[in-house]
Amino acid sequence: MKRTFFLVAAVLVTSALLAGVASAQTHYVRYSQNGGDISWGVLDGSTIHQLSDAPYLDGMRTGQSVQRSAVKLEAPVDPQLVFMTAFNFRSHISGDPAEYPGLFLVPANSIVGPEDPIVRPAESTNLHYEAELVMVVGKHAENVSLADAPDYIFGVTAGNDVSERQWQGGDIQWVRAKGSRGFNAVGPVLATGLDITNLEIVGRFNGEERQRGNSSDLIFNMAHMLSYISTYFTLEPGDLIWSGTMGSTQAMEPGDTYAIEISGVGILSNTVVQGK
């Protein structure tokens, strides 16, 4: 009888803890209406509650709300700096991993949202997808220790680090190959309250699975990346750090769609269009 009581009690406590974890998860969005100003909001079911500012800048609810179906979702990020990581999944490299993270920058205005197209430049001949986890910095960060780094992470979203392989192999730096206009799709939400050390990441090319990995497989996890980057650069709230991709990738043509699903974040799906 006592054993049964304790088993039931343990189940109830566990359920309560899980419910608490679930209730702590929040989905933030950026949205526009009829091509107007862009606002921040909290997505609650089919309703978006407007915020006065970005959530990592202490934005508060304004009392205004709108239906999700009445707005366009924009990229749920607004960074000054966008750092990307190269060769950070063992499944994406040959040989032994590097001793320190591969790091590069792309322009912040290369970011597009979950309802935008990916634009293939006119001169592009080999445009690839890359499914990635994207971390959003929560506060000013300089020389952050690895132990303290998790406290500086606000939340995560999904990203497609679109890459022009021909340019990537031929240019001195990767800024054009990785950061051209309309390349880097992010969304659909900025999620908090997730265990970012254990998130499943799946990429689907025209509905067919092509990439799968877990953030637990990262060579340098997101906390490590934040600590490492803050050693050399000053990070501000809203800045982005991308995880790097897994497995192999292939070329996309106009009309192709690539969808990235991350547990707790949702599905980011963008279609490729031909640029001028």
Across the chain, mean pLDDT equals 91
Most confident of 31-35, 93-97, 98-102: 31-35
pLDDT computed for residue 94 by the predictor: 63
Over residues 10-39, mean pLDDT: 67
Q: Which of the pair, 95 or 161, is modelled with greater confidence?
A: 161
Residues 66-89: tens digit of each pLDDT: 999 999 999 999 999 999 998 898
pLDDT, position 4: 38
Q: What percent of the chain has pLDDT over 90?
A: 83
Residue 100's pLDDT is what?
Answer: 84
Of the pLDDT bands very low, low, confident and very high (cuts 50, 70, 90), residue 107 is very high
Query: Per DSSP, which regions of 22-152 are E strands?
Result: 26-32, 38-44, 47-51, 61-67, 72-74, 82-86, 102-106, 111-112, 118-120, 127-128, 131-137
The two beta strands, 240-242 and 82-86, are parallel
Cα-based distances in Å from 245 to 47, 129, 137, 146, 250: 32, 9, 19, 22, 13
pLDDT of residue 20: 36
Going by pLDDT thresholds of 50, 70 and 90, the confidence category of residue 172 is: very high
Q: CA triplet 193, 60, 19: central angle to 5 degrees?
A: 30
Task: Calculate mean pLDDT across residues 246-260.
Answer: 96
Q: What is the mean pLDDT of residues 6-26?
A: 44
Identify the residue with better confidence: 75 or 3.
75
Could you give the domains of the chain? Answer: 24-74 (2.30.30.370), 82-274 (3.90.850.10)
Q: Given this model, what pLDDT does residue 13 score? A: 36
**pLDDT score at 98:** 74
Sorted by sequence, the CB contacts under 8 Å of residue 20 that are 6+ apart come out as none
